[in-house]
Every structure is written in C-alpha cells, then in structure tokens.
Structure 1
Amino acid sequence: MGDEVEGFAFEQSHGKSRVRVARVWKGQDGRHFIVEWNVSISLLSNCIPAYVHGDNSDIVATDTMKNTVYVKAKECSEQLSMEDFAIGLAKHFTSFYQQVTTAIIKIVEKPWERMYVNDQPHQHGFKLGSEKHTTEVMAKKSGALRVTSGVEGLALLKTTKSGFEGFIRDKNTILPETRERMLATEVTASWRYAFESLSSIPTKPLYFTEIYVDVKKVLLETFFGPPKEGIYSPSVQSTLHQMAKAVLGRFSNISSIQLKMPNIHFLPVNLSSKENPVIVKFEDDVYLPTDEPHGTIEASLSRLMSKM
C-alpha cells in the first residue's frame, strides 16, 4: 500500500539496474571458479520529501547501490550461490539504512561453464553455455523474506514420442491430428522457496546452487523420459504439468513453480509440382524450423498451503 501525498495515493521506489559484476575464486589446488552476475536493485524507502519537496536527505544514491555490489562481492572470500549473494545484499540495504523498508534484488547469472581439454577439466578455462540461472529476493526490515529462483532459455527438443489429438475443430482448423511429431520448446521456469524469513535460510554452502542443478535435472528427465524408450507427450500442456508436478514432488522446500513452454514448431516439408508430384515426401525426416509464430503455453503449480 502506498502513502497519501497531497490528496493522492503515492507509491515509489528507486534502484540501480544492470550492475554487472564478475567474481573469481582461486582454490588451493590452483583451480579457478568464476561467476558473472547482472544485478538489479530496487529499494522501497521513506523518502517522500525527495519527491514532494526536493529534499534528498533520505535518498540512497543509486551510484552507492552500484558500489555496494562490488564491495559485497569483494567481501565474499568463499564461493557462494547467487541467491545467498542476493540475500546478503538485501539484508545490507534493509539493516544499514533506517529509511529502507524493503529491498528487492534480481540477478541473472551468465552461464560460464568449465572448459574440458582432452577430457580433462581446465584449471582456469571456461566457455559460455546457454540457459541462464535467475533469482529474485525480496527482504523486509522485519526479516520477512521471499526467494524465487529459476532458469531461462532452456532449449529442449525431442524428435519423436510427441503427438496432438482430440482438440477442437471448426471451420478455421486445418491442423491435422498426429501421434508422431517433433517437440521443441524453450523453457522458462521459476520456483519459489518455502523459506519466509532470513533466519530460516539454510547455512549449507552453495545450497541454492545445488537445488538449481537438481531442479533442472528433474525438468530434463521428465521432459525426455528414459534414455532408450523416452516418454510420450500428448501435448505441451501435459508435459508441462508433469514437469511441474515432478519438481514439487521431489523438493519439499519449494512451495510453487511456474513454467512457460512455447511450442516451437518444426513443420513437415512436402514439396511437389505438376511435373513432379513428389519432390520431397515427408517421412518424419525433413522439417522447416520456425519460431514465428509459435504456441504459448504456461501454467503454475502451488502447494495448497502456499501463500504465493
């Protein structure tokens, strides 16, 4: 709820976006570890005089916020998860500044992966991966906390074991029913942890990083099924629901999950002409990949006791 200012309802926040920071840790065995984070900060604070009277005495300068990111990164002498870094930042802003009531920290991690040379992990070499790890932490001065993590750009494809039948048909429907098609998508997933206070956060090092890796593994295993036989998908909707249910079934510390899974089409290619009725005959082998337009499917699944 906002404040009443001069007869109007007034809400405000200020922050700093796209603060890019990279942190390198050097192990005793000579192995290096690197993270690259894109940090956004938003503070809710009692600084109405800045808006109404031009009095900046309660403003936390956004340049100070940027500098704080680098200072806190330097203070992290041990490798830590992106979520723990965000929690630390949020805790700093709400405790250090009396007028700050809530801090919202969003971070997107660039996917640097260790390079392998001759099947051996390189000590200090990395290559850029694909999907990105995300988090949003909201912390209040009272100690109340909300942690949401996720993955973006998780591109998945299977060349069989997918179909689409029994949908509504009307005069505008030309899509044929099929039990054999390619299924491709780019998953965006976000899950909210059940922790509701700063004091309830696990102290285990890299706890959130491990959960992120394990959630992604469950999503992949549910989408693809067993290595040899796979698993049939009657629709993107059905597969999405199974993926969400598998995550909640596996992780009791996750209270809800949202999935967005566009249906990225691979269209069967059949080419013919009057002179040659069969230039290319489609036999589940030649496709036209296209992502415009594509179907959009999304849903969320929450435990009944969840406050999300």
Structure 2
Amino acid sequence: MAEGLKLEQRHGKSRVRVARVWRNAVSGKDLIVEWNVAISLVTDCLPAFTSGNNSSIVATDSMKNTVYVKAKECSEVVSVEEFAIILAKHFTSLYPQVATATITIVEKPWERLVLALQPHSHGFKAGSEKHTVELTLQKNGAVTLTSGIEGLAVLKTTQSGFEGFVRDKYTILPDTKERILATEVTTKWRYAFEWLSDIPPKPFCFNQRYQEVKEVLLETFFGAPQVGVYSPSVQNTLYLMAKAILNKFLDITAVHLRMPNLHFLPVNLSTKDNPSMVKFADDVYTPTDEPHGTIEATVTRSLSKL
C-alpha cells in the first residue's frame, strides 16, 4: 500500500533473441537453437514508483545480458523448458527483492538439412511450427510450467463435414458431408508439476515430450494413413485431440487448443451468356484465410486449471 493506494507492478525485458550452437566433436554434427525470450519479474521496488528511488530495481538491460550469459553457461544441450527454469531460478535466487519470475520463450524451428538422404553436419533449414514455453517460479519454489506449439498447419482433403447446425434467415451455408478441413493449430499444455522440486531431472526430456504431443495431435486429426477418420466439426476434432493428449500423458493436467477454420470454398461459375451454374465436383476450391471461423477450448482434468 502506498498513500492509500494499491499498486500491482512487474517489469522485465521482451524480445531478447539468442541463438546457441553446440558443436559435437564426436559426431561432427552441430546443433543450433534460436530463442525469443521474455522476462517478467514481480519485485519489491515500491519506492521506485512512489519516490523515484531506483535502488531496488533490476535493470532490464541486466536481464538481457543474463540471457546471453546463461546460454553460454549451458555447455550441454538444453531444451527450451530447461533454459526457462535456469533463468527463473537465477532471478528468484540472486535478487532478494524478486518474488516471482515469469519466463516466456518461443523457439524458432531450425531443422537439420538432408541432402542426398544424408543429414548435413552443419546445414539447417527453417521449419514451420514453433515450440513455446511459459514458466512462472515463485521464490518459495511454487511453479507453473506450460509448453506449447504455435502454427502447426494441417489440412485434409476429405473425411470432413459440417451439418445440422442452427439455420435462420442469415444462413446460406449448406449442410455437407464432404469438405476440406484446414487449420493452424496452436496448443499449450500444463504440466502437473506444482513445485520446482517436482520437475524430474534428466533423463526426463521435454523435447521428446513435445514431439510425442505433436504426434498425438496429428494422429488424432488425420486418422490412420489409408482410411483416415471422419470429422463432423472442428469442435469435435479439437476435443478428441485434447482428450487424446490427457489420456496418454498423465503428467499433463490441462490442454488448450485454438484451431481456426481456414475455409476452402468450392468454386462454381456462371455468366450472363451461360447462366446455368457450372459446378465443380469437390475438386476446385478458392483458399481463404480471412474471414475464418475461430474455435478454441480448454480440456482439463478434475481439480486442475490452465
């Protein structure tokens, strides 16, 4: 409290971009990661706001430099989650006035280049979807850890429909059992860890879990390679994807999915000279991404929250 007023504050540094290369002398293969880091600290620095006394402020430039120093200190390969833990532990332990640290990181996907069926030793190409993490660590060790995927673009040319929805005077969309289903999946999942001490040391591998979650999402969306699986709506497919993750990974307590419906509209043509509609039989479409449907939901185990 200050002068009868309640003050809630935090400060930090955003868009700190850092790349780290690990060079393996045994395999001869380099590995690179590129991270976009954001740091947010809750600190006991009330005088900075009320009287201009900056003696308790951790400079945001120091936060930026810390990212580079800690990346350098990681002599072994670390996941984006592990790096977030390293940063959060640093800020909450080094500075007595820091009560809580929130670290958010987005990893840019760099994939090893394959030429003539051979993985290149130091060549990489840009991937698509991004690995994300948000970690909040309190000084007493309480933790929330949420990982995610951004921009997982998927499409299937059949085995999708949409019918039986509300019809009124504004409705022109016909029912259909045959349409393209395309979306760009953004998901985040919260781990069950409540305390820093709950997070298992290696060999628990966050990168492996990331790949496993992605595989479950894809398997549920597409179905078996030869037969697929029918989707009656984006809503139903989204729920089944989240449910599959919770059923397979007991250390995940909640899953949030956002799946915009990126429409592919069947092309039908008519002209003044030929007023009869020329109908294309589900083979020629106009791709659109604006406007698009927006569908999102959170599926949570009982007594859990995301």
Q: How would you bin the TM-score normalised by the shorter chain?
A: over 0.9
Is it true that 1:217 corresponds to 2:210 in the alignment?
no
Counterpart pick for 1:275 among 258, 273, 276 = 273
Distance 1:99 1:109 in 2: 29
Distance 2:192 2:36 in 1: 25
Residue 280 of structure 1 and its aligned partner are, at CA, apart by 4.6
Contact 1:191–1:257 (Cα < 8 Å) also in 2: yes
Distance 1:131 1:307 in 2: 25
SS at match of 1:5: coil
CA offsets 1:121-152 (integer angstroms, 9 cap, x no match)? 00100000111110000000000011000011
Distance 1:274 1:154 in 2: 43
Counterpart pick for 1:55 among 45, 53, 56 = 53
Distance 1:265 1:223 in 2: 17
Distance 1:224 1:133 in 2: 21
SS at match of 1:275: coil
Contact 1:87–1:137 (Cα < 8 Å) also in 2: yes
Residue 7 of structure 1 and its aligned partner are, at CA, apart by 1.1
Distance 2:276 2:146 in 1: 53
Residue in structure 2 matched with residue 165 of structure 1 by the alignment: 163
Once the two structures are overlaid, the 10-residue window that deviates more, 130-139 or 202-211, is: 202-211
Residue 64 of structure 1 and its aligned partner are, at CA, apart by 0.4
Counterpart pick for 2:231 among 227, 233, 245 = 233
Normalising by the residue count of structure 1, what TM-score does the alignment of the two structures yield?
Answer: 0.97
Distance 1:307 1:142 in 2: 21
Distance 2:237 2:304 in 1: 23
Residue in structure 1 matched with residue 75 of structure 2 by the alignment: 77
Distance 2:32 2:227 in 1: 38
Contact 1:80–1:206 (Cα < 8 Å) also in 2: no
Distance 1:277 1:41 in 2: 61
CA offsets 1:12-33 (integer angstroms, 9 cap, x no match)? 0010000000000111221000
Change (3 A) 1:276 1:154: same
SS at match of 2:137: strand
Letter aligned with residue 54 of structure 2: N
Unaligned runs of 5+ residues in structure 2 are: none
RMSD: 1.1
Contact 2:254–2:305 (Cα < 8 Å) also in 1: no
Residue in structure 1 matched with residue 175 of structure 2 by the alignment: 177
Change (3 A) 1:65 1:23: same
1:118-129 to 2 correspondence within 5 Å? 118-129=116-127
Residue in structure 1 matched with residue 17 of structure 2 by the alignment: 20
Distance 2:70 2:148 in 1: 23
Contact 1:109–1:134 (Cα < 8 Å) also in 2: yes
Letter aligned with residue 286 of structure 2: L
Distance 2:212 2:164 in 1: 35
Normalising by the residue count of structure 2, what TM-score does the alignment of the two structures yield?
Answer: 0.98
CA offsets 1:226-285 (integer angstroms, 9 cap, x no match)? 001000000000000000000000100000000000000000000112323468521010
Residue in structure 2 matched with residue 9 of structure 1 by the alignment: 6
Residue in structure 2 matched with residue 289 of structure 1 by the alignment: 287
Contact 1:185–1:264 (Cα < 8 Å) also in 2: yes
Residue identity over aligned pairs, in percent, reads 67
Residue 87 of structure 1 and its aligned partner are, at CA, apart by 0.7
Residue 85 of structure 1 and its aligned partner are, at CA, apart by 0.3
CA offsets 1:37-57 (integer angstroms, 9 cap, x no match)? 000000000001011111111
Contact 1:80–1:205 (Cα < 8 Å) also in 2: no
Residue in structure 2 matched with residue 265 of structure 1 by the alignment: 263
Distance 2:67 2:276 in 1: 62
Residue 307 of structure 1 and its aligned partner are, at CA, apart by 4.3
Residue 108 of structure 1 and its aligned partner are, at CA, apart by 0.3
